[in-house]
Structures are given as C-alpha cells and as structure tokens.
A and B are shown apart, each in its own frame.
Chain A
Amino acid sequence: MSTLKSFNLRDKGADIWASWNKASRVAFVLFLIAMVGLLPFASTFGPTSFLNTPISSYIDVLVFPVGMFVLMALGLNIVVGKSGLLDLGYVAFFAIGAYSQAILSTYYGWNTWTVLPVGIGLAMVSGVILGLPALRLRGDYLAIITLGFGEIVRIIAININITGGPNGIPGIPNPPSFLGINFNLENTRNYFYLVFFLILITIWMIRRFTVRRPGRAWEAIRQDEDVAALMGVNTLVYKLWSFVIGAAVGGAAGVIYASKVMVISPDMFKFEVSILILACVVFGGLGNIWGVILGGAMLAYLPERIRFLTEARQLVFGLVLIIMMNLRPDGLLPRKKREKVTEKGSA
C-alpha cells in the first residue's frame, strides 16, 4: 500500500509517533515548541531571513494574522472538521470577543485578564443562542444561518452606540503585565508568546476531547447523524457543545486581538474573515489539528509575504487556493484514513 499515490503524510507521521517511547515523544514536543518559540527571531537570523515579510512588520504578522488565524482555524476545526457542521459565520465569535474587550476595558476599566473569561463566556452564550435553533437544521441551511449571524453581529456593531458605530472603538488598553511579562508596543514579541500559549492550550483541549466521549460523539455525528442518533448519541447536545467550544476559542482570540491592536471597527469582522478561516481549515486538512495549523499559518502568512505584488496579491492568493485544492483535495495533511473511509459515500 505504500505506493506514492496512496501516500498519506499524516498516517506516516502517526506511525512514527506510535513507534516512539515516552521520552522521545516528550523530547520531540519540546523541540517543536522551542522551534516555534524561536520563530520571532527567524527574520534576523541568516538562513531563515527569507521568512521576513516585506512592508509589514514580521513580528506583527506572526501575531496577526498568523497566530490568530491558527488559533481561530483550530476553533473552527472543532465545528467543521470534527463534527462536520458547516459554519460560515465564525467571525461573529471573534467579533464578540473583541467587542467585549473593547467595551469592558474602555468604558468600565476592566483589564484584559479579567475580560478574557467574560469574553469567552459571552461568545459561548451567543453560540448557544445561535446554535439552539440553527443546529436543528441540516447542512447548507446551517451554513446560511451562521453566515447571516456573522453579518447580523457586524450590522449591529455598525448601528448601535456602545460599539462606536462604523468608526469602532479606539484607545483599547494593552493587557497589564503578567508575571513580569510586559505587553505593549515595544514588546510585540510577547503577544506572539501569549497567542502561542493559547494555541497550545487549545491543541491540548482538542486532543483531550477527541479521545473522550464528546470526540467519539462528534466523529459519529460527522459520519452519519441518523446512525449516531440511533446509537443513542444525543446529537443536538453534542453538536451544541462543539459549536460552543469552537465559539469559546474564537472569543478568546477576539479578546487578545482587540487588546493588541488597540482599536477595532466593524469592517475588521467581515464575512471574508469567516471564509478565510474556513479556507485555512480545508486547505490544511479538515479534521486534522496539524494540517489545520499548517493551513492557517500558510494562508495567513502568504498574503503578507507577497505584499510587494500590491493589487495582484489577492489574485495570487485565489490561484493558490484553486491549484492546491485541485492537487490535494483532502488538504495538505489529511485526516487519518481510518476516519476517512466512510466519508466517500456522502461526497
């Protein structure tokens, strides 16, 4: 079976991983974390200096879009990849997180660390409000309703006073220092580590869920919802859970984003962002954490790297999407074959 055609990098990687003992696994993970931790220095280090982004600041690019997109793609992957629900309005949760930070910190003087749980909570609550009616529907109806929800959140932000209308909210404070780590304009590198830390927590959370009851329920729902229901899986509850957990990740990303950029406005939360994050998930490899991370990092980084093309860069981005999807329809790093088998029928 090891012909080139059926070669699956993800399976190969999983085999290698399974053959290691605990010590080498820990060493490998630490090595990976160290490599990612060194990323902010890559632009000034000789052999990797090609990574430097022309025009935009490299470290800013690493935080937003790269870090944020990876984080949000991981969150959306729980919804789209794990439980197979097409969500076209994921940006709504990002916006809710960002606006909670903006409003609570500028009007009420809360700091980022106290807003973080509240922002996550609000995103989760809105996930329930949206999910309860929407998740009773199937497939593309869910897609259009989530799309509508994303637009509604943005329209509300434009049209009410507390969100500052179309101009948005300026003067959002940076997070206060935490354990001696400063977060301000001089220390943008620390934002990268903060986002990286959130990404690690999210990965850990997803991996825990995947091997436990919710993960199995999501897998069953994704493969066949009717059969899952017949087997006694409470499909609505588990779909809602995946929706809400995805929303929580989006909300967390929003809170951190708002306190990093210090000014937010409704046009940062357009439908295009939802589409872009979905593209990260599918491009990287639906349902596979490592693929999604790779996809998110690449699709966020690419437009910044080719910024010198000015007008044509979005065009090139579109071409890359078409070509890559045609070459690798399952994404860069597809999910395990075992999980793919039953997917054929519904394709």
Chain B
Amino acid sequence: MNFSVIGTQFPSLLLQGLALGLIYALVSLGYTMVYGVLRLINFANSEVFMIGTFTTLYVQTKILGYTNLSQPIHGLKLWYSLLFSLLSSMLISAVVAVIVELVAYRRLRAKGANRLASLISAIGVSIVLLEGMGILTGGRPKSAPRLLEKWSFGEIAGANFRIDTLLTIILPIAIFVILNRFVTRTRLGKSIRAVSMSEENSKLMGININKVITLTFIIGGLTTGAASFLFMTVYENTAFNVGFNMGIAAFTAAVLGGIGNLKGAFYGGIALGLMEQFASAVIGSQWKAVTVFVVLVVVLLFKPNGLFGEAVQQTRT
C-alpha cells in the first residue's frame, strides 16, 4: 500500500486512467449495443477488437508501406495515414462483427434457441478467430510502426500531456457524442431502442428485427475498431490473444455502468480505466483486477443495475 503516490502523481494517473478508460469505453459500447438488443454477451467482441488491431497493423505496414524502422512522419501525410488506418480498422471490425452475427447468432435466433446456445456458438467463433490469427502470426506478438511522433504539449501539473493522449481523449468522446445522437434522434436509432424495449412489439410496429440487430453489430464493430486503432497508436504492439484482457475489462466496464445503456458503458469505461490506474499505483499492478472486481461487486450490491441503470426494464434470465 502506497497512498503517497496519489498525492505526488495524481494528475498523471488521472490522465493515463482517462485515456485507458476511454479505450475501454469504446469497446464496451460494442458489448452494450449488442446486449441492449439481444440480451446476450457477445463473446466474440474481444476478437473483433483483436482483428481491428491487426487491420491497423496491416494497413500501416503493407498498404501504406511503413516499417518499424521508418521515421515518424509529419504534416498532411501523417493525418491522412492515421485517418486511413482508423477508417479501415473500423470498417473491417464492423464486417467481422456482422459475420459473427451471421455465423453465431442468426440461425440460432431463427430456431428460437436457448440463450446459452448462442453464447457457446459465439465462443466457438471467438476460438476460431483467435486460433486462426495465432496460426497466421505464428503466435508471436507484432509491433506497429510509430507514425505519430509522441511529442508532448508540456506538463500540466506534473503530468506529461502528449499528442496520443489527446487523440485518445478526443476521438472516443466524439464517437460517443455522434452515437448518442444517432440512437436518440434518428429513425434507425429509435428502432434500435424500440427493439431493446420489446422485440415482440417492435415486430408488430413493422420494424425489421434482423436489420436492427445487424445494425447494432455494425455499430459495435465500428466503435470497437476505433478502439483497436487507438490501442495500436498508444501501445504500438499487438498479439493474437490481445482481445482477452480487453474483452473482460470492457465487459466489466459495461456492467459497472449498467449494461444495455450507452451512457453507462461510456462512463463505466472511464471509471474502470481510472480505477485500474490508481489501484496499480497504490497497491501494485498485480492486484488491479482484484480491486476492480471487488468494486464491481460492491457497486452491484448497492445499485443492482449498475451505476446508470439499464436503459430498459430489468433484465430477465
């Protein structure tokens, strides 16, 4: 236990926690979107994240032709490269998410199967993606070229405020704002909310359920893909099993905030990122997962539907 760390490093822990938390928030939006509509944990979302990181890597090395030895680039070319890898990561992740839905969920849903059956088939898809990528990469971790030179804006109250931190703060917030508007204002967004309230009634109102479900998987894939891009920009390496820890963290974040609720996933992600950073600093990084789960249990005991509650009425098993 080392509480003095909080006093000395508070701003920098806060900043790092926030950046990490916002990456979690993007992935947990992927979980929460699907959960809101299907009432199912999309176990394969962690592998969607993994595919996203490899897409970013592939685009940067094979298509844009940067290597691990190339110098960081500047100016218009930099922003073009970053935007291109961001968009391709989002796009491919969304495509993978849609494939996951087709393979793991659609047929089972048409048969009216038990929810656990879909859970297991999603786990099957997850294993296939994971092991497939493991074979392709030979099980070795891969490092990404550094496109963005990580210059610092200077110190804010002792915290080193870098360009990549700024990027990981702005991009998720922008995505969240757009997504929130989309879900609350547009016709498609309203149909998503309708399906999450009652599938039967939405069907009667003429909403195409399958279309809405595919749409939620696409949105989940897009946000998760954006998270993969940010992860690669900040941490600069990936491996075929990178999705596992991210998946568990993001799902925990979604539950912490109140699963099925966009705001919940977003703030839950931030809360989780901050908690992990402070717990690592105070009681050691090996205990951070324990701290997170203990906090989760305590929160759920007092607020059984998460910090922000579920968007719709209480979930049933």
Binding site for B on A (CB under 8 A): 80, 84-86, 133-134, 136-141, 143-145, 147-149, 151-152, 155-156, 158-159, 225, 271, 275, 278-279, 282-283, 286, 311-312, 314-315, 317-322, 325-326, 329-331, 343-344, 346-347
Contact = CB atoms under 8 A, between A and B. Distances in A.
Given A315-B127, A322-B125, A140 B255 contact: yes
Interface residues of B, number: 49
Given A139-B315, A155-B287, A159-B287, A279 B131 contact: no
Query: Which 6 pairs across A and B sit closest by C-beta, in order of nearness?
Result: A321-B124, A318-B127, A329-B113, A148-B293, A318-B128, A322-B124
A145 B113 contact: no
Which one of B41, B114, B286 has the highest number of Cβ atoms from chain A below 10 Å of its Cβ? B114
B279 to A, nearest CB: 12
Interface stretch (B57-65, B104-112, B157-165, B167-175): B104-112
Interface of chain A: mostly helix, strand, loop or mixed: helix
Nearest to A224: B316
Given A144-B255, A318-B124, A286 B316 contact: no
Given A282-B120, A329-B113, A152 B293 contact: yes
24 contacts: A84-B317, A86-B317, A136-B301, A138-B316, A138-B317, A139-B317, A140-B317, A141-B304, A143-B41, A155-B290, A225-B317, A271-B244, A279-B123, A286-B116, A314-B131, A315-B127, A315-B135, A317-B127, A319-B124, A321-B124, A329-B117, A343-B114, A346-B316, A347-B112
B252 interface: yes
Contacts of B108: 325-326, 329
B297 interface: yes
A320 B297 CA distance: 35
Contacts of A279: 120, 123
Contacts of A320: 124
Given A86-B317, A151-B248, A315 B286 contact: no
Interface in B70-113: 103-104, 107-108, 111-113
A144 B107 CA distance: 26
Given A140-B255, A147-B248, A322-B103, 13 more contacts: A138-B304, A145-B300, A148-B296, A148-B297, A279-B123, A286-B114, A314-B127, A314-B130, A315-B135, A318-B124, A321-B124, A326-B107, A347-B112
A136 B315 CA distance: 14
Interface in B106-153: 107-108, 111-121, 123-128, 130-132, 134-135
B127 A321 contact: yes
A149 B317 contact: no
Given A139-B317, A151-B248, A321 B121 contact: yes
Contact of B116 (A80, A134, A158, A271): A80
Interface of chain B: mostly helix, strand, loop or mixed: helix
Interface string B277-303: 000000000110110110011001100
A140 B31 CA distance: 12
Interface of B: 35, 41, 103-104, 107-108, 111-121, 123-128, 130-132, 134-135, 244, 248, 251-252, 255, 259, 286-287, 289-290, 292-293, 296-297, 300-301, 304, 314-317
Contact of A346 (B123, B128, B251, B317): B317
Contact of A329 (B111, B300, B314): B111
A317 B315 CA distance: 32
A152 B292 CA distance: 10
A315 B131 contact: yes
B297 A159 contact: no
B173 to A, nearest CB: 26
Which one of A136, A139, A159, A286 has the highest number of Cβ atoms from chain B below 10 Å of its Cβ? A139
B293 A141 contact: no
A80 B132 CA distance: 30
A136 B134 CA distance: 39
Contacts of B317: 84-86, 138-140, 225, 346
Which one of A140, A143, A317 has the highest number of Cβ atoms from chain B below 10 Å of its Cβ? A140
A159 B284 CA distance: 11
A149 B112 CA distance: 31
B124 A145 contact: no
B41 A140 contact: yes
Contacts of A329: 108, 111, 113-114, 117
A137 B297 CA distance: 10
Contacts of A141: 255, 300, 304
Nearest to A148: B293
A144 B253 CA distance: 10
Nearest to A134: B297
Which one of A147, A322, A343 has the highest number of Cβ atoms from chain B below 10 Å of its Cβ? A322
A126 B304 CA distance: 22
Contacts of A271: 244, 248
Contact of A311 (B116, B135, B287): B135
Which one of B119, B252, B289, B292 has the highest number of Cβ atoms from chain A below 10 Å of its Cβ? B119
A149 B293 contact: yes
B123 A133 contact: no
Contact of A145 (B135, B244, B296, B315): B296
B116 to A, nearest CB: 5
A140 B248 CA distance: 13
A148 B125 CA distance: 23
Nearest to B293: A148
A20 to B, nearest CB: 30
A145 B117 contact: no
